[in-house]
Structure 1
Amino acid sequence: MPNPPATLDALARIGWQGTLPAEEDGTRIARVIAQHRAGYELHDGTTAFNAQPAPRFLKPDVGPEARPAVGDFVRVTPAKPPLIEAILPRRSLLERAAAGERHRRQLIAANIDTVMIVCGLDGDFNPARIERYLLLVEGSGARACVVLTKADLAGDHTEPMAIVRERVPATVDVIAVNAKSTASVAPLLALLGPGTSSVLVGSSGAGKSTLTNTLLGETRQATQSVRANDSRGRHTTTSRALILLPSGGCLIDTPGMREIKLTGEETLDGAQFADIDALAAECRFGDCAHHGEPGCAVRAALDDGRLCTERWHNYLKLRDELAAAAESLEAQLRRKSESRVLTKALNKRLAEKYGRQ
């Protein structure tokens, strides 16, 4: 591991923003650029090196959100191997609920400025999935950009562009590209300037790795063709990795996501569905269920085409899923609290009977 502490200029090259925090004896700052089963890969703005997490990060009761993630800036001690001792405060964090019945978080990327939601203009095209991604992004602290790939194969893509534009907030950029063409992806460079960090998310086969290679100007990420019947791809990217781009920005490529599970802490009252909230506020009755009540502004908008039926159905689906996820989260927190109370009571009884050790 290099000895001199990383400078502000060096850390800015890997996405650090603002002034440096006060130095702490024996530690230096680096950024997590990859996570493997054997440990982490870090970069200090000059050199990449391997590191291990401090033992406290590996305790079973430490949740994923309290462990280092790709994109994190961390303090490292010069041990052999170097040890990650602390995670510096995050300016943003993109996460989802992990697959399975147990409620756990999966961190996707930390300290990012832009989440690029990649969707192919082929069988991968799915506006409802884009809305789901946008719901995750809203609470992350990062901005969203929808990147529609395979524009070269789609012919006239005016209609799908219009569909997406209708279903996302006006503040979200929607850009159609040929991911293999340097000229076509050039508009994305405005989001990938020096000191910025972006992450690519989307399904397998959407073109994330191809887009990464084009932005890099070289073939570094493996790519594979998609199945002809459904445009699905295999997981060519198997782990998250932060890559330094010639434009000066940092880009995190991620494996394709088959399931975009909500954490339960997202809300539907943000910009993503602001128009539906506005319509609901115009209903005659404050407790309108929008099923057929007189004076329902939502039903009127559905009937006259101002509100897209598919979008409304997706809104209801997300609402129900959020309610279930929030209930699951609350139940899990309640069980943890009850377990701590029982453990404390048991320890007290043991201490009274046998004395404190």
Structure 2
Amino acid sequence: MSFSPASPEASSASHPLAPYGWDEGWEAEFTPYAAQGLLPGRVVRVDRGQCDVVTPGGTVRADTEFVVPRDPLKVVCTGDWVAVDPGGDPRYVRTLLPRRTAFVRSTSSKRSEGQILAANVDHAIIAVPLAVELDLGRIERFLALAWESGAQPLVVLTKADLVPDATGLSYLVDDVETTAPGVQVLAVSAATGEGVDVLSAVVSGSTSVLLGISGAGKSTLANALLGEDVMEVQATREVDGKGRHTTTTRNLLVLPGGGVLIDTPGLRGVGLWDAGQGVGQVFAEIEELAEECRFHDCAHGSEPGCAVLAALEDGSLPERRLESYRKLLRENQRIVAKTDARLRAEIRRDWRLKGAEGRAAMEAKRGRIR
């Protein structure tokens, strides 16, 4: 299909920012700011109140003073599309364009603040090292945040060359696929090149963010996708397979096959942040079973007619999956309750009700004993 030079599609495709993801949608969003004489740009790095922004004329350093909100989720982030001053020293970011997606985690389990890690992402690549034992619970946690962000998750099992045989590798891939319904799982080795071409094809032409713990091989994988050693790489410890934070900032880099990649520092903690829908998508089979329970508000504890417990008893639902599901739901509820007064009140009422039922049961038991 061809477009005339005057068409919006042709205009956006030939735009200097097209390699960074500029399209007719962003062009339409930017129209009012173009009328003000501002320049469009994409944030490729943020550092202490300033950011590097790639614009039609090249990369500029800009101050974020005019877009410092009270909400920590609205701060300038790598991957954001912005409007910047056409000149001046210093230059300023004047506004953020509305985000299409945002990957957010909780900064701490004891605080009710979220931290945005990347914006306007199409694929969330979760790097999981095969140099150490798989932590399926951590994978489920990453997946919940990825689904909640609006991006398409993708699990990449790195360092596949360290698995001694093909059969063992196949079992590991099967385990993760069971843990990640609806998600593509790729075994990749940056050392041998295994799977790198497949991953490159999947993320081509889109914005991808690379996530994982320290030592997951993110920087090595980024270099393999970029086709050159752009990111510094450090060896992991042999004792536990962990590594130091080679990447210290979130950087947006253009991929040779088209699209861009946001590399991120290793994450020690991955706290949920209002990720109820994401948790439900990770545990889709449990959510589907819950629809068959006798009671619509079934807690899957000891209620009669519980389809979830029935699946647990017949072995079709692994106990580990159910426990992980319960754990993430509880954690997410606590986080949401910190910022939602109505939900806090509901939780307190539930606690009081359960407490009263427990006391009544104890009193009845004492009466029988007497």
Following superposition, the deviation at residue 167 of structure 1 comes to 1.4
Report the counterpart of residue 349 of structure 2 in structure 1: none
1:214 equivalent in alignment to 2:220: no
Rounded to whole Å, the distance in 1 between the matches of 2:302 and 2:319 is 15
Secondary structure of 1:75 counterpart: strand
Report the counterpart of residue 114 of structure 2 in structure 1: 105
Report if the CA contact (8 A) 1:124-1:230 is conserved. Answer: no
RMSD of aligned alpha carbons: 2.2
Report the counterpart of residue 134 of structure 1 in structure 2: 143
Listed as ranges, the matches of 1:72-151 within 5 Å are 72-77=80-85, 78-99=87-108, 101-123=110-132, 125-151=134-160
Secondary structure of 1:135 counterpart: helix
Report the counterpart of residue 24 of structure 2 in structure 1: 18
Report if the CA contact (8 A) 1:225-1:233 is conserved. Answer: yes
Rounded to whole Å, the distance in 2 between the matches of 1:45 and 1:12 is 10
- Match for residue 331 of structure 2 among 318, 321, 324: 321
Give a deviation string over 1:201-256, Cα, whole Å, max 9, x none. 00000011000011111111111111222211111111100011111110000001
Report the counterpart of residue 181 of structure 1 in structure 2: 192
The AA in structure 2 aligned to 1:112 is V
- Which stretch shifts more, 6-15 or 22-31? 6-15
Question: Which has a greater percent of helix?
Answer: 2
Report if the CA contact (8 A) 2:104-2:115 is conserved. Answer: yes
Rounded to whole Å, the distance in 1 between the matches of 2:342 and 2:19 is 41
Report the counterpart of residue 153 of structure 1 in structure 2: 162
Report the counterpart of residue 238 of structure 1 in structure 2: 248
Give a deviation string over 1:269-323, Cα, whole Å, max 9, x none. 7432221012122223444332333332212211222112111110010011011
Listed as ranges, the matches of 1:169-318 within 5 Å are 169-170=181-182, 172-194=183-205, 196-267=206-277, 270-318=280-328
Following superposition, the deviation at residue 326 of structure 1 comes to 1.1
Report the counterpart of residue 77 of structure 2 in structure 1: 69
Following superposition, the deviation at residue 142 of structure 1 comes to 1.1
Give a deviation string over 1:59-108, Cα, whole Å, max 9, x none. xx622222211000100012212110010111111111112522112111
Structure 2 gaps, min length 5 = 1-11, 345-370
1:74/1:240 CA distance change after superposition, 3 Å: same
Report the counterpart of residue 59 of structure 2 in structure 1: 48
Q: Structure 1: which 4+ aligned runs deviate by more than 6 Å?
A: none
1:46/1:182 CA distance change after superposition, 3 Å: farther
1:29 equivalent in alignment to 2:45: no
Share of identical aligned residues, percent?
40
Rounded to whole Å, the distance in 2 between the matches of 1:102 and 1:331 is 15
Q: TM-score under structure 2 normalisation?
A: 0.82
Rounded to whole Å, the distance in 2 between the matches of 1:28 and 1:181 is 43
Q: TM-score under structure 1 normalisation?
A: 0.85
Following superposition, the deviation at residue 119 of structure 1 comes to 0.5
Report if the CA contact (8 A) 1:117-1:144 is conserved. Answer: yes
Report if the CA contact (8 A) 2:208-2:261 is conserved. Answer: yes
Q: How many residues align?
A: 324
Structure 1 gaps, min length 5 = 1-5, 335-357
